[in-house]
Amino acid sequence: MLQRTSCVDTINIKIASFSSTVQLGDSCIINGLSRALAVQRETDVFYGNEGNLSPYRVYSEPIPFQPIDEPFSYARQNPNPLIRVGKIDIIGISSASILHVGNSRHVSMETRIKHIRQLLPIPRKEEEVEVQGQR
């Protein structure tokens, strides 16, 4: 079983959004997942069929975890089974982030974001000359 107790006098959070979690107390498993498609356009154009993540490989490719193959040893001593914190101030947590006060056995977090910038084409020199001649 988990061996320490966490005690926080005050927690002040202004914003928790987009599947974020505030967990007070012990947990065995924490899984956080966030997927986002961020499209930045030079002009405000909306096609109505946007938001389908399946065409983008970034959401389906396996994450290449590197195995830990270095030997290590450690000795744990918990002379005081209490972790005490006076105050936690948070402006915001977002996109499947977790504020967890307590003990955890297994934690897994994953965020995948595809950024797309759609800029207007830059006119070529011949086009600029034609436009200037028509004025």
Q: How far is Cα 82 from Cα 96, in angstroms, rounded to an integer? A: 28
Q: How far is CA 73 from CA 3, 23, 76, in A?
A: 19, 30, 10
Mean pLDDT, residues 28-52: 83
Query: Residue 25: its pLDDT value, please?
Result: 86
- For residue 1, pLDDT over 60 is answered with no
Query: Residue 31: its pLDDT value, please?
Result: 87
Mean pLDDT, residues 8-28: 90
pLDDT, tens digit, for every residue of 43-63? 877 777 777 888 889 999 998
- For residue 3, pLDDT over 80 is answered with no
pTM for the predicted model, two decimal places: 0.62
- For residue 7, pLDDT over 60 is answered with yes
pLDDT, tens digit, for every residue of 77-134? 777 788 888 999 999 998 888 999 988 888 888 888 888 888 888 877 765 555 555 5
